[in-house]
Every structure is written in structure tokens, then in C-alpha cells.
Amino acid sequence: MPEIAVLQPSSQLPATDSSASTLKCKSLAETSVGQHPTPLFVDDEKKTAKINELRELVENCDDFVRRSDDLFLSRFLICCDWDVQEAFQRMGKLFKLKHDHPEWFINEPLSSYKHILKRNVKFVLDKRDKNGRRIFVTKMCRMDINESPATDLAHLDELWCEFMLNDLETQQNGISCLLDMSGFSIKSLRYLTPSNIKIGTQKADLMPVKHMEFHVVNSSAFLNTAIAILYPVLSKQIKDKVHFHYSDWDSLHACLGKEALPAQYGGTNGTDFDYDALNKQLLDLEDHYSNLVKFGYELKPHVDASKYKKFFHSIDGAKHNKSKHRKSLLESELVEE
């Protein structure tokens, strides 16, 4: 029985037919999770074999229903240079993190996250950078620690990363993260608790992205304070990929190009962000996200749910707190109106 080092394997798993669990698609819009058409790499027998090998390991790793379509598995294999065991261990560590800290991962349908999406703190541009990478923007000025706890920001990251990584071109080319520090408030330093830093960096390190770079613009004195706190605990892998451009657009364009950026960053892609259109990229895929909710939270039919009573109690508690927080925000908005 294959075993993920950080999770106990199931002792009564039914036999799986790995040859039947394949999916061909190149983008999230074409993906239907749970369906198994022809292989993603139909003309590459070696890659197809590695995907099937990884699928068998994943489907037999523990008691939970796990996502195992080709496009999901390929993101880990590409990230790990097609080393099946390395990809499997990376997935196992991510599964373990989700099991131990479910409140940091999405566990509700997409409709439950519309209230944080509309704050436009994080979003993905409609055009790629000059290296074919998706551009993932974070606007620090739109963060409000009173409205968005650290877990909300983690959910936004996961929602948008799912959008980006369910695309083969992005898996191969990578992601450019554009961090706009203008308006960064000293109150936001309250996000940087030891626990938040530990879990957030673990999740970032385990994200299956082969190429990811961070481009910081409009930095401020407050940012220097944040860096002094955060930098020592960042992995070397992340540190080496952070680039500071301040307000030097020529420096930014040398890395990303101008065509995907709006005029506020010296680019040629309009004068500003069309937030409604950018969020619509994700909101149009509500059915896809609804299908994802079961993975890592739904047990296989033969499993005794009482074994995971504490785990599901934690999830229910997180959902209750999230619902209470949303209700409080809505009441505040109504009072202001």
C-alpha cells in the first residue's frame, strides 16, 4: 500500500482502474472535474504513464476523496520535473497542511467567497507577461484587517491560483506576482503573527508552480518594517524570486513587459483595471469550484466518519465563524447605507 509520509493510508481501499481516470483539457474553462476523457498528453506515452502512476498513488493514499484528473496531477509533475515520488510527497505535505489547518483552505462553494472577491484585493490580469506567465496582482491599499482576516486572503490566493494552474500553459510558464504596496498600512502588520507566517509560508512553498516571481512596486517605509519581520522566516526559494522595482516602470517592464499592464504601471493595457471583468474570469467558473469543495473534505464511502470527528468539527467551526463574520459585515454595510 503506498503511503504519504504525513498521512495515514486507508486500510480498506477498493481497487482502482488508473487507466480509466484520465482527462484531456488545457484550461479551467474546459475542465469538468470527475470526468475522464482521453489523456492530457495523448501523444506522449511517458508523461501519460507518469500521470497514471501518480494517480494510483493519490487515489490510494488515505481515506479522503482526492482530485486526480490529469490537469491537476500535471501541475505537481511539471513542478517536480516529472519525478513521480517527489510530486507525490509534495502533494502529501499539502494534504497534511489542509488536514491540520482546514480554515486556511477553501471549503465552500464559490458563491460564499464573492464578498471577498469584490474587495479587489487580489485578481489576475487578462493578459500574460512577456514570458507567457499569468500576472497575479495584490493591491495592499485594498486590504482591511478588520474586514479580511489572514484566512480570507489565503482563500483568495487559492481561488485565483486554482484559476491559473488549471491551465497547461501557466503550469509550464509560471506566475508573476505583482505586489503593489501603495497605501500599505501599519495596521496590516497585525497579519504577521508567528502562526500566520508559519502556515502562510508553508502553503506558498507547497504551491505546485515551477516558476514564480514576486515583483514589488510602490514600496514604502512601512514595507521595510514588514520585511524586517517577515524576511528571516521566508524560504530561500522565495527570497531569491523577490524583485523590488519601487516606482521604476522601466525596471518592471524589463521583467513583465508593457502590454499586459495598465497605464498606472506605465503599460499599454488600458488606463486602469476593469475589476468586474477580471473577477468575471473566475466567477464564470462557479460550477468548477463547486465540484472542488469535496476534495480533501469528503470521505470515501467505506470509511468510518467517526475517525475524523475532530477534523470535521474544526471545519464546521471555521464555516460558522466565517458565516458570522459575513453577517456582521453585511449589517455594518446596511447601517452605513
Residue 95: helix, strand or coil by DSSP? helix
- Quick one: average pLDDT of 115-121? 92
Within 8 A by CB and 6+ apart from 134, the residues are 124, 125, 128, 164, 167, 170, 175, 176
Chain centre distance of CA 136? 11
Query: Nearest-CA neighbor of 138 among 204, 237, 89, 193?
Result: 204
- Quick one: average pLDDT of 41-65? 95
Confidence of residue 156 (pLDDT cuts 50, 70, 90): very high
Distance between start and end Cα atoms, the chain = 59
Cα separation, 164 vs 330, in Å, equals 30
Least confident piece of the model among 71-80, 184-193, 227-236, 273-282: 227-236
pLDDT of residue 320: 63
Cα separation, 313 vs 106, in Å, equals 16
Statement: residue 102 has pLDDT above 70:
yes
Tell me the three cell numbers of residue 123.
485578481
Assess contact for 154 and 196: CB atoms under 8 A.
no
Provide the mean pLDDT of the chain.
Answer: 83
The 10s digit of each residue's pLDDT in 60-74 is 999 999 999 999 999
Statement: residue 50 has pLDDT above 70:
yes
The 10s digit of each residue's pLDDT in 172-218 is 999 999 999 887 777 777 887 889 889 998 998 899 999 999 999 99
The amino acid at residue 158 is: E
- Quick one: average pLDDT of 277-304? 93
- Quick one: average pLDDT of 222-235? 68
Whether pTM > 0.95 for this model: the answer is no
- Quick one: average pLDDT of 41-50? 94
Residues 191, 192, 197, 199: what is their CA dihedral angle, to the nearest 10 degrees?
A: -20
DSSP state of 16: -
Cα separation, 179 vs 92, in Å, equals 29
Confidence of residue 221 (pLDDT cuts 50, 70, 90): low
Q: What angle do CA 225, 229, 230 make, to 5 degrees?
A: 115
CATH homologous superfamily of 110-286 equals CRAL-TRIO lipid binding domain (3.40.525.10)
Cα separation, 140 vs 49, in Å, equals 43
Assess contact for 303 and 63: CB atoms under 8 A.
yes
Residue 183, sorted as left (phi over 0), alpha (psi -120 to 50) or beta, turns out to be left
Confidence of residue 227 (pLDDT cuts 50, 70, 90): low
Residue 251: helix, strand or coil by DSSP? helix
Statement: residue 160 has pLDDT above 70:
yes
pLDDT of residue 14: 35
Confidence of residue 240 (pLDDT cuts 50, 70, 90): confident
Q: What angle do CA 86, 56, 91 make, to 5 degrees?
A: 35
pLDDT of residue 224: 65
Least confident piece of the model among 90-94, 111-115, 122-126, 143-147: 143-147
Least confident piece of the model among 120-134, 227-241, 285-299: 227-241
pLDDT of residue 18: 34
Q: For 242, list phi and psi in degrees, rounded to 5.
A: -95, 125
pLDDT of residue 3: 43
pLDDT of residue 311: 86
The amino acid at residue 337 is: E
Chain centre distance of CA 144? 21
Q: What angle do CA 256, 260, 265 make, to 5 degrees?
A: 75
Residues of the chain with CATH 3.40.525.10: 110-286
DSSP state of 19: G
Higher pLDDT, 322 or 264: 264
Least confident piece of the model among 117-126, 141-150, 225-234: 225-234
Query: Nearest-CA neighbor of 298 among 7, 109, 64, 12?
Result: 64
